[in-house]
Amino acid sequence: MEEKQIGQSNSNKKIRPQGIKSWLNHRVLRRLIQTGSAVFILFLVVQNYILGEGSGANTVSPEAFCPFGGLETLYKWINSGGALISHTHLSNLVLLAAVLITALLFRSAFCGWICPLGFIQDLIASLRKGLQRRWPAFRRWMASVRKFAAPLAILDRYLRLVKYLVLAWSVIGAAVYGYMVFRDFDPWSALINIATWTFTPGLVVLAVTLIASFFVERPWCRYACPLGAASGLVGKLSPVYLKREESACTSCKICTRACPMGLPVHTATTIKSLDCNSCLECVDQCPVNGALEVKIGLTLFGK
């Protein structure tokens, strides 16, 4: 069996392009999109801080570009015939529509390819991986931390349900009370308003998220993001999914280790998890041709 696997992997092994061609891959494209998205928001934050909305200059609040604001204001918008709750704009509803349509076709691709908060968590995880590669002492320290925290892994599957509670609370709360009950706890809102030096619980959530990102990849996305929860639910209807070809797979677990959402890719046949953010890191990292691919079909079930 071992010989067969090795033989298979050698014959089907992906050939990694060298030189400039090595840059022509989806990882680079994904990072470029994420960077562009983050720089755009950063520009709005800085511009808004320096010029101010009331200056008469053509400034825009970065909050106008948060899709989740659209979900929070949706009930009032429908019920009142077009009125929006405070801090939301028509653009929030349009972005929500864009996120959900994208999810309907390509699962939670917004989370994996565009979301700036996801990108920040990715950057911190990349920093940790870089440090692990360079400093063996740090690598050993991280290994001991993982070993120490291993018993907590049992909580993972339950903590993943928290984001659906956050989704329900924030949407129902906004509908009942007429304002964004989630806003003060929202790490994204805290981040884009950080220049106002206003202390909110969201700042604490942001700090916890950023620190946790060093140890667990995308902790906010995994456990608490309500937009990711909504996107994942809609994405369940998407015809796009990942297919693991058991006959080609060598069960090397590289895909599972590459998954920022911590999904057990190497044991699945079709990956249609609500938590999958379609970053395709697993596909990129898979060393065998045809073992893991993106497919279009009408498979509603799968891990």
Partner 1 sequence: MMRINPIVYGFLVLFVFFGTILAFQGAGIWSVSGKVTAGGDAIQPVAADVNTIKGWMTLEQISTTYNVPLAELLAHFQLPADTASTTAIKDLESDTFDTTALRDWLVSRTQPVLEKQITTPVETMIVPTQTPILVTTPVPTEHVVPANTVTGKTTFQELLNWGVSEKAIVTVIGSDLPAPSTIIRDFVTQKGLDFPTIKTALQTEVDKQK
Q: Per 3-state DSSP, what percentage of the chain is helix, strand, and coil (rounded to 5)? A: 65, 5, 30
Residues 37-96 that bind partner 1 (CB under 8 A): 52-56, 60-61, 64-65, 77, 82-84, 86-91, 94-95
Q: Does residue 30 belong to the site contacting partner 1 (CB under 8 A)?
A: yes
Q: Residue 73 and residue 242: Cα distance in Å, rounded?
A: 33
Residues 283-302 that bind partner 1 (CB under 8 A): 283-284, 293-297
Quote the least distance from Cβ 59 to partner 1, whole Å: 10
Whether the CB-CB separation of 131 and 251 falls below 8 Å is answered with no
Tokens 């022509």 belong to residue: 24
Q: Residue 152 and residue 154: Cα distance in Å, rounded?
A: 5
Q: Does residue 240 belong to the site contacting partner 1 (CB under 8 A)?
A: yes
* Buried residues in 40-73 as b, exposed as e (16+ CB within 10 A): ebeebbeebeeeeeeeeeeeebbbbbbbbbbbbb
- In the complex with partner 1, the residue whose CB is nearer, 64 or 131, is 64
Quote the least distance from Cβ 246 to partner 1, whole Å: 15
- In the complex with partner 1, the residue whose CB is nearer, 56 or 151, is 56
Tokens 């009125």 belong to residue: 83
State how far the alpha carbon of 81 is from the alpha carbons of 36, 74, 180, in Å: 35, 11, 18
Q: Residue 106 and residue 129: Cα distance in Å, rounded?
A: 28
Pick the piece of the chain touching partner 1 (CB under 8 A) from 99-107, 117-125, 134-142, 158-166.
99-107
Tokens 């018993």 belong to residue: 151
Q: Does residue 19 belong to the site contacting partner 1 (CB under 8 A)?
A: no
Quote the least distance from Cβ 42 to partner 1, whole Å: 16
Pick the piece of the chain touching partner 1 (CB under 8 A) from 102-110, 155-163, 172-180, 214-222.
102-110
Q: Does residue 5 belong to the site contacting partner 1 (CB under 8 A)?
A: no
Q: Does residue 14 belong to the site contacting partner 1 (CB under 8 A)?
A: no
Q: Does residue 243 belong to the site contacting partner 1 (CB under 8 A)?
A: yes
Nearest to 242 by CA among 259, 224, 225, 223: 259
Residues near partner 1 (CB under 8 A): 24-26, 29-30, 33, 52-56, 60-61, 64-65, 77, 82-84, 86-91, 94-95, 97-99, 101-102, 105-106, 109-110, 113-114, 240, 243, 278, 280, 283-284, 293-297
